[in-house]
Structure 1
Amino acid sequence: MLQRHLATVLLAGTITGSAAPSWADAPLWESWSQPYPQRGEFAPSRQGTLQPRLQLATYSAPAPLSNPIQQGLLDLAHSLEGKSQWERAAPLGNNIANKTLMETVKRLLTWQDSLEPAALERQFDLVSVSSKADSKAQFTGYYTPVLQGSRTRTAQFNIPVYRTPPSNLRRLSHNEIAHGALTGKGLEVAWVNNAYLLYIAQVQGAARIYFTDGSVSTLDYASDNGREFKAISTYLAAKGYKIGALSHNNINRWLLDHPAILPDALLSNPRYIFFNETQESPQTASGHGVIPGHTIAVDSRYIPHGSVLLAELPRLDALGKRQGGTEWRILFAQDHGRAIKGNGRFDLYTGVGGDAESAAYSVTGLHRVFMLVRKPG
């Protein structure tokens, strides 16, 4: 990809020594990074429009990319390519034109220095991003849980996972779906053996599913029934159940020990999520795959999609636990979420499985964040 000026230097080969970015020496994030399918070639800008459009270069067949930072920058460039260069999409916050966002990405693609603030500020303005309540930004994390499943219903795997139904059935209540309103309509994508883990997949918007036939797929968000989301943890707390820490793992263990409570707990959440089965990584709102440790969901009214940010985040060990100290990480504004509202509110994608869940909890909190904007000239 990008056989002209944008890919003349690979970040993986140009950032060395003590200034190396965290992905180069921390196994945590990369251990979650499964090989990403190539996104395909960049398309040329759409023709025949009245407004000038961004156009990067001429492209040939994509080449394998091992550097997640470079992959993220290329994905941002792809999402910006073809947009009106003077469009500004974040009226409530850093309302920067697409042209400037693209120029920032292009400059980073040829960057040959440290990814520390002191080095970056020589060519980029570091625009501080903060929440209303604090001078720092508020982070949470999201991840891809793992499910065990079957392609046919069995005694063990008897909980259906549905694809999007016809339009006349899309607004069924969770209660109606749970009581068979979609049964026999050929909508089952898979059958799973744990209803609470399926709920977690619905909350996170995706799951990796290991089938009994040996195949592995991604269940990715397709649509929902349009009902309000309510967290099961809120229901259990309101009922006064003594669960302890309200982590997903702890709630799952507790509900397995109290199966009579599970149906009402699940139905306390009116929203129901429908899934697509795919072989790709979960897709962001920008149309590209998530990149563990780098993709963030933002409120795009404040932070436009296509932005590059720099955040000081906790350093984590291989299990997703804090190991002391912080590191500067390049982040890509690619996704959104219903709970991600306001300036300085970010949700960081942490990867797949239990260690990624631990990392999601570990990064939750207040952290320093800057938006990178190329300096003129």
Structure 2
Amino acid sequence: MSRGHAPQFSASDLLQEISFEDIDGFSADDLAAAFAAFRRSATIIAADGQEQRSAVPPPPSLIAIAQRALQGVDDPAQFFRRWFQPRRIKAKGFVTAYYEVEVEARLSPEPGFVTPVLSRPLDLVKLNEAPLSLPSGEKLTSARRQADGALVPYPDRRAIEEEGAAPSAHPLAYVRDPVELFLIQVQGSARLRLPDGGVMALTYAGRNGWPYTSVGRLLIERGLVNRADMTLDLMKETLRRLGAGPGEAGRRIMQENRSYVFFEIDRSEARAIGPIGGQGAPLTPFRSLAVDRSIWCYGLPFWVAARIPWQSEAEIDFRRLMIAQDTGSAIIGPARGDLFFGAGEAAGRRAGDIRHAAEMIVLLPNEVGDGP
């Protein structure tokens, strides 16, 4: 069997060669569900499709495997065993979880719904291949293109919110308050419930390029929330208690995260399946994984093993084959993962409790033609 393609990062000594028999629970997993998620990635990989947020490019072996997956597979377990080689990531693993927000919204402002969800500005340019370096040492992944073609830093969250510094962005809808908007931006997508019973899907359309700062971490560091008590609901409650209006303390803390996310209305067939991840594929609950896109390519399968409260408040085993289909500004490191839990309030409650150690095993692609 081939040793598989090494990931495109220098710390290859972090990977330990193992066999599928070494993966506790692999044979008991629903690998047909994992394969269904992989096929959604395969569609994009095989077609060299456009990614929402660019990542390490897939190696030729993964492209060939994606093409084979689209031809149909009788035995998903045999498919993964034949075309991939497991490697245990020896770095300390850590997982969080995220979900798709569902919130009430209006298409025009009215009392109680005055916070706009903004579209992508016309002058926003992605700089993933050549970030804009600042004298401070910060690197911006997006910038503003001026009329003369020059690139300058895009205004940060505070300027956009208080000064209207993204004038070419237009409101797509209005939500209750800046805390609700902030949550949507952190999650990267949302389902907006309208008064007539309709639902409008938002998909990530870009960000201003400033580095992400964890507001939850700021609340803990300043003694406003105990680390052991931190949940998504408590974070929202605390920010609202501190005040989310202009100049109020909660608003100022949120503005310390200078990153600002823009959206688009998405009525595509794929979006009807689920929110669109960084790869451009619809996400599958408990099968889609966000990874560090500077290290891993989309479409790689990862085995994640942890004891987490994913079904109730009790911590139980989570042992599943996940597919790398998303990324996030806070997802940094070879063994850092973010588990997609689905949509709605219940998923949000469970996702907000996940901050746990985990074992992560990556399945690297074999050369097509290799295998047992």
Q: TM-score, normalised by structure 2?
A: 0.68
> Offset of 1:107 from its aligned partner?
9.5
Equivalence for 1:141: 97
- Could you tell me which amino acid in structure 1 is paired with residue 181 of structure 2? L
1:131 and 1:138 in contact (8 A); partners too: no
Deviates more, 1:338-347 or 1:271-280: 338-347
> Offset of 1:156 from its aligned partner?
0.7
Task: Give the alignment partner of residue 357 of structure 2, picking from 362, 365, 375.
Answer: 365
- Could you tell me which amino acid in structure 1 is paired with residue 187 of structure 2? Q
1:95 and 1:303 in contact (8 A); partners too: no
Equivalence for 2:181: 198
Q: Does 1:154 align with 2:110?
A: yes
Deviations along 1:35-68, one digit per CA (max 9) or x if unpaired, are: xxxxxxxxxxxxxxxxxxxxxxxxxxxxxxxx74
2:288 and 2:340 in contact (8 A); partners too: yes
Task: Give the alignment partner of residue 221 of structure 1, picking from 204, 229, 232.
Answer: 204
Q: Does 1:76 align with 2:71?
A: no
Q: Does 1:376 align with 2:332?
A: no
Equivalence for 1:98: 62
Deviations along 1:177-217, one digit per CA (max 9) or x if unpaired, are: 22241698670111111321211111111122112232212
Task: Give the alignment partner of residue 233 of structure 1, picking from 216, 224, 227.
Answer: 216
Task: Give the alignment partner of residue 110 of structure 1, picking from 74, 88, 110.
Answer: 74
Equivalence for 2:324: 333
Q: Does 1:347 align with 2:331?
A: no
Deviates more, 1:147-156 or 1:175-184: 175-184
- Could you tell me which amino acid in structure 2 is paired with residue 287 of structure 1? G
> Offset of 1:249 from its aligned partner?
0.5
- Unpaired runs of at least 5, structure 1: 1-18, 24-66
1:101 and 1:307 in contact (8 A); partners too: no
2:306 and 2:358 in contact (8 A); partners too: no
Task: Give the alignment partner of residue 232 of structure 2, picking from 244, 248, 270.
Answer: 248
Distance 2:211 2:318 in 1: 37
Instruction: Give secondary structure in 2 for the equivalent of 1:150.
Output: coil
Residues 278-357 of structure 1 aligned to structure 2 (within 5 Å): 278-279=266-267, 280=271, 281-314=274-307, 318-319=311-312, 321-327=313-319, 329-357=320-348
> Offset of 1:22 from its aligned partner?
4.9
Deviates more, 1:75-84 or 1:265-274: 75-84
Residues 182 and 342 (structure 1 numbering): CA distance in 2 closer, same or farther, change over 3 Å? Answer: closer
Instruction: Give secondary structure in 2 for the equivalent of 1:251.
Output: helix
Residues 376 and 100 (structure 1 numbering): CA distance in 2 closer, same or farther, change over 3 Å? Answer: farther
Residues 201-212 of structure 1 aligned to structure 2 (within 5 Å): 201-212=184-195
Residues 101 and 346 (structure 1 numbering): CA distance in 2 closer, same or farther, change over 3 Å? Answer: farther
- Could you tell me which amino acid in structure 2 is paired with residue 130 of structure 1? I
Residues 175 and 253 (structure 1 numbering): CA distance in 2 closer, same or farther, change over 3 Å? Answer: same
Deviates more, 1:231-240 or 1:189-198: 231-240
1:295 and 1:333 in contact (8 A); partners too: yes
Residues 153 and 366 (structure 1 numbering): CA distance in 2 closer, same or farther, change over 3 Å? Answer: same
Distance 2:34 2:185 in 1: 28
Deviations along 1:141-173, one digit per CA (max 9) or x if unpaired, are: 222122221111011101111101231795223
Distance 2:239 2:347 in 1: 22
- Could you tell me which amino acid in structure 1 is paired with residue 99 of structure 2? Y
Instruction: Give secondary structure in 1 for the equivalent of 2:104.
Output: strand
Q: TM-score, normalised by structure 1?
A: 0.68
Equivalence for 2:86: 127
> Offset of 1:110 from its aligned partner?
2.1
2:190 and 2:203 in contact (8 A); partners too: yes
Equivalence for 1:34: none
Residues 325 and 104 (structure 1 numbering): CA distance in 2 closer, same or farther, change over 3 Å? Answer: farther
Q: Does 1:268 align with 2:263?
A: no
Instruction: Give secondary structure in 2 for the equivalent of 1:145.
Output: strand
Residues 293 and 108 (structure 1 numbering): CA distance in 2 closer, same or farther, change over 3 Å? Answer: farther
2:191 and 2:202 in contact (8 A); partners too: yes
Instruction: Give secondary structure in 2 for the equivalent of 1:283.
Output: coil
- Unpaired runs of at least 5, structure 2: 1-26, 50-54, 125-142, 145-153
- Could you tell me which amino acid in structure 1 is paired with residue 113 of structure 2? F
Distance 1:224 1:333 in 2: 21
